[in-house]
Amino acid sequence: MSVIDILKQRKSVRAFLNKDVEKEKIIKILESAKMSPSGVNMQPFNVCVVSGEKKVALENKMLEAFDNNHKEDMDYQYYPLEWREPYKSRRKDMGLLMYKTLGIKREDKEKQLQQWRENYKAFGAPTVLYFFIDSVLEKGSYLDYGMFLQSVMLAATELGLGSCPMASLAEYPSIVKKELDIDKDKVLLCGIALGYEDKNAPVNSFKTQRVPLEEFATFYE
C-alpha cells in the first residue's frame, strides 16, 4: 500500500474491538514515527503508552471529573476563542454528521452529552498514546509534533490498526500527569486512541469530507 493510499484510507475511528494491540506493533509504529523531521533535529516527542489496568484507572478518574462537572484548563489553547467562518461551519457540519449517523437528534442534549463522555474512554480503544512536550519549546516544535502525530497514525493504518487523534484527552492535564507521574511543567498535547476498528459500529461509517483543492491551494507559475 502506497503512502498516498494510506493517507486516503486513514480516518478517525470511534469504536474499537475488544482486542489488545500487540506491543510489537506499537514499537514498530513509534520506531517508524521517530523518523519524522524536526527543527535542528530537536525531536520534541515524549509519548506515554497506556493500556490495561492503568488505562482503566486513568479513564475512570477523568470520567469522575466529567460526571461531577469538574473542568480544567488545557495546557494550551487548542481551539479559537472566537469561531469564525469557514471554521465555524465546518465544525458544525462535522458534529451534525456524526450525530445523524448515530441517530442522535439535535435537541437531544443528554444523548449528545453521553456520546461526548465516550471521549474519556478513548472510545473503548485498548491502548491510548498520550503526547507531551517541554513547556520551554515554541511554535516550531508544535509544527514538528504535528508531523510526528501524523506519522504515528499512518504507520498504524499500514499495520491494520485504527486510530483517533483526541484533544479531549488533554482536557484534564493534572489528572493525566498525576496518574502517569509526569512532570507538571510538561505540556499535555493530546492523545491518540489506538486499536482494531469495529467495522460494524455505526459511528465508524461516517467520514468527514475535505474541501476541494482550489479552496486551499494557489498555484503560481
Q: What is the pLDDT of residues 22-49, one digit of tens each?
A: 999 999 999 999 999 999 999 999 999 9
Please, what is the angle between helix 87-102 and helix 109-117, to 10°? 90
The mean pLDDT of the chain is 96
Q: Are 189 and 131 in contact (CB under 8 A)?
A: yes
pLDDT digits (tens, 9 = 90+) for 56-82: 999 999 999 999 999 999 999 999 999
Cell numbers for 6: 494510506
Cell numbers 494510506 label which residue?
Answer: 6
- The fold of 3-207 is NADH Oxidase (3.40.109)
Please tell me which residue, 112 or 164, carries the higher pLDDT value.
164
**By C-alpha distance, which of 168, 172, 197 is closest to 12?**
197
CA-to-CA distance for 111 and 100, rounded, in angstroms? Answer: 12
Beta strands in 17-159 (DSSP E): 46-51, 127-134
The pTM assigned to this predicted structure is 0.96
CA-to-CA distance for 62 and 209, rounded, in angstroms? Answer: 31
39 Cβ contact partners less than 8 Å away, ≥ 6 residues apart: 140, 141, 144
Question: What average pLDDT does range 163-177 have in this prediction?
Answer: 98
Residue 52 has pLDDT above 90, yes or no: yes
pLDDT for position 32? 98
**Cα 5 to Cα 10, 113, 180, distances in angstroms:** 9, 35, 36
**Looking at the chain, how many residues does it have?**
221
Q: Where are the domains of the chain?
A: 3-207
96 Cβ contact partners less than 8 Å away, ≥ 6 residues apart: 106
Cell numbers for 26: 506499537
The four Cα atoms 52, 187, 195, 125 give a dihedral, to 10 degrees, of: 60
Helix (H, G, I), strand (E, B) or coil at 115: helix
